[in-house]
Amino acid sequence: MKKSIMELEDISRKLEPVNNKRAHWNTSVQKYADNFLDEFNQNNTFVVSENMGKGILDLSIEDEGKPIEEVLQCLKENVDTPNINPASGGHFGYIPGGGVFTTALGDYLAAITNRYAGIFFACPGGVRMENMLLRWMCKMVGYPVTALGNLTSGGSIANLSAITTARDAKGIKAKDVDRCVIYMTKQLHHCVQKSLRVAGMKESIVRYIPMDSSFKMIPEKLNIQIEQDKANGLLPFMVFGSAGTTDTGAIDPLKKIGGIAKENKLWFHVDAAYGGFFMLSNRIKPAFKGIELSDSIAIDPHKGLFLSYGIGAVLIKDTDALYQTHHYTANYMQDAFNLDEDPSPADLSPELTKHFRGLRMWISLQLLGVAPFRAALEEKILLCQYFYEEIQKLGFEVGPEPDLSIAIFRYVPKTEDANAYNLKLVKQIMQDGRIFLSSTTIDGAYWIRFAVLSFRTHLKQVDLALQLLGNLVK
């Protein structure tokens, strides 16, 4: 048996590469990353591909490993080239992703050290770090010092966590679900409807509250609808507000909605996944007045703090409610049952095993400070306003004036169908590839979206977008 063990040990030790192999791999990966940042990132924002990454399937999984050069070349050709390049400053579609360099440093260290920051007993410093970040965000939005939350993979899980906490805090049982009424606008992000289904609230009644001409909820309509539902024996339960919708970037009248929610004892949740971090700017923060009245907030550091994909946050004013929904114990965890000095993320989240995602955020804020993030956010606001004004000079029709960094626009030709014409414009932009724009349809009208959130987007990229659009409609 010992002989077999030793033979297996010889093979398994390949999982711990020796110093010179680590050095070669590190050098190769660093060279690839530097090339991406210095050159490859400057290439087209959208690359039309016939292969569509199929070459990745040619590098099969085998018993023996392959040279890193072969692996990286496959990665470049099939993953980092086709279709959207989210690292490009010309990415104006959807909600552009982040990718600040310091994210990679944090993730590299988190992966190397492999600390488990799910419970205080295992990694007290890591838990303190993540809770420190959450308290910093709670302070930013005006929550009390007793509030907390959890770092999630993104806005979808943040919204799900808030919904399940609200469900339990309000004492909603299975027998109540079909009487529960949930209020939102049709501009609320679709992940909320998905989260309601996952949380067992699929059979609830959803009321879509009318919006004004700027695609913002009309509070008076909300109040009337709640009164009607109460009179009909229904159970008004939860109202959703948006602090930066995905379609247009609109901020709902949060103060009025919050007052109505409090008066009627509804749980008030704000989806600020995209827009929340604009609150770092004192000049923009007044637009979010009333967000402090909410019971919970979803906010994404991988959007407004420009970090790489994979870190969102849910902030909950009543930490005990979050704990009651998510805390469970098991016998095999008995060694960790101690008097934690700080709440464990595993007790405040559906996740037990989780990536130490707080390190990427902490190291970024520590190395760079808050000032560059604040400046970049204010820059994006001004760039969007600039685009909004300039695109009209080119003959385009625009939607409401931007609250944040998203504008919608369309060209209305004299003879052709406007929807078909703007669809063609978007396809032409994709073929050109230097910038990327996405679209949406509101009340049957096809709009092109201009979303500025990449930290690499500056005046040069916005002027290029204006130039390309102007040339296409001449």
With helix as H, strand as E and coil as C, how does 250-306 read? CECCHHHHHHHHHHCCCEEEEECCCCHHHHHCCCCHHHHCCHHHCCEEEECHHHHCC
Q: Are 293 and 299 in contact (CB under 8 A)?
A: no
Q: For residues 336 and 279, give the distance between their C-alpha atoms in angstroms, rounded to a whole number.
A: 38
Q: What is the pLDDT of residue 474?
A: 83
Query: Tell me: the pLDDT tens digits for 261-275?
Result: 999 999 999 999 999
Q: What is the pLDDT of residue 143?
A: 98
Stretch 119-132: mean pLDDT: 95
Q: For residues 364 and 342, give the distance between their C-alpha atoms in angstroms, rounded to a whole number.
A: 23
CA distances from 217 to 117, 245, 332 (A): 39, 11, 49
Q: What is the pLDDT of residue 389?
A: 98
Helices (H), 394-447: 418-432
Q: What is the pLDDT of residue 142?
A: 98
Q: For residues 223 and 28, give the distance between their C-alpha atoms in angstroms, rounded to a whole number.
A: 61
Identity of the residue numbered 263: E
Quick check: 324 pLDDT over 90?
A: yes
The partner residues of 419 in beta bridges, in order of sequence, read none
Q: What is the pLDDT of residue 224?
A: 98
Give residue for tokens 């086709």: 82
Q: What is the pLDDT of residue 334?
A: 57
Q: What is the pLDDT of residue 380?
A: 98
Q: What is the pLDDT of residue 336?
A: 56
pLDDT band at residue 207, thresholds of 50, 70 and 90? very high
pLDDT band at residue 208, thresholds of 50, 70 and 90? very high
- The conformation of residue 142, written as its DSSP 8-state character, comes to T
Backbone conformation region of residue 250, classed left if phi is above 0, alpha if psi is from -120 to 50, else beta: beta
CA distances from 252 to 95, 205, 215, 223, 418 (A): 18, 21, 8, 15, 29
Query: Tell me: the pLDDT tens digits for 334-391?
Result: 555 555 689 999 999 999 889 999 999 999 999 999 999 999 999 999 999 999 999 9
Q: What is the pLDDT of residue 32?
A: 95
Q: What is the pLDDT of residue 461?
A: 96
Q: What is the pLDDT of residue 199?
A: 87
The domain ranges of the chain are 14-85, 108-368, 371-472
Q: For residues 410 and 418, give the distance between their C-alpha atoms in angstroms, rounded to a whole number.
A: 8
Quick check: 319 pLDDT over 60?
A: yes
Q: What is the pLDDT of residue 365?
A: 98
Specify the DSSP element, H or E, that contains 319.
helix 319-326
Give residue for tokens 């967000």: 291
Q: What is the pLDDT of residue 341?
A: 84
Task: Please state at what angle helix 155-169 crosses helix 319-326, rounded to 10 degrees.
Answer: 90
SS3 42: helix
DSSP codes joined into one string, 81-138: SSEE-TTSTTB-SSS-----HHHHHHHHHHHHH----SSTTT-HHHHHHHHHHHHHHH
Quick check: 322 pLDDT over 60?
A: yes
Query: Tell me: the pLDDT tens digits for 419-435?
Result: 999 999 999 999 999 99
Nearest in space to 361 (alpha carbons), one of 319, 315, 300: 300
Q: Which CATH number fits domain 371-472: 3.40.50.360, 1.20.1290.10, 3.30.1370.60, 3.90.1150.10?
A: 3.90.1150.10
CATH number 3.40.640.10 is the correct assignment for the domain at 108-368: yes
Q: For residues 68 and 29, give the distance between their C-alpha atoms in angstroms, rounded to a whole number.
A: 8
Query: Tell me: the pLDDT tens digits for 161-205?
Result: 999 999 999 999 999 999 999 999 999 988 988 989 998 999 999
Query: Tell me: the pLDDT tens digits for 40-98?
Result: 667 689 988 888 999 999 999 999 999 999 999 999 999 998 998 888 999 999 999 88
Stretch 107-118: mean pLDDT: 96
Quick check: 330 pLDDT over 80?
A: no
Q: What is the pLDDT of residue 51?
A: 86
Would you say how long the chain is, in residues? 474
Q: For residues 249 and 442, give the distance between their C-alpha atoms in angstroms, rounded to a whole number.
A: 14
Stretch 380-405: mean pLDDT: 98
Q: What is the pLDDT of residue 333?
A: 58
**For 13-43, b where at least 16 C-beta lie within 10 A, e where not — what string?**
eeeeeeeeeeeeeeeeeeebeeebeeebbee
Q: What is the pLDDT of residue 190?
A: 87
Query: Tell me: the pLDDT tens digits for 3-56?
Result: 999 999 898 999 899 999 999 999 999 999 999 998 866 768 998 888 899 999
Contacts of 55 (CB under 8 A, 6+ apart): 74, 77, 78
Q: For residues 383 and 84, give the distance between their C-alpha atoms in angstroms, rounded to a whole number.
A: 21
Q: What is the pLDDT of residue 472?
A: 96
Average confidence score pLDDT of the chain: 94
Percent of the chain residues past pLDDT 70, beyond the cut:
97
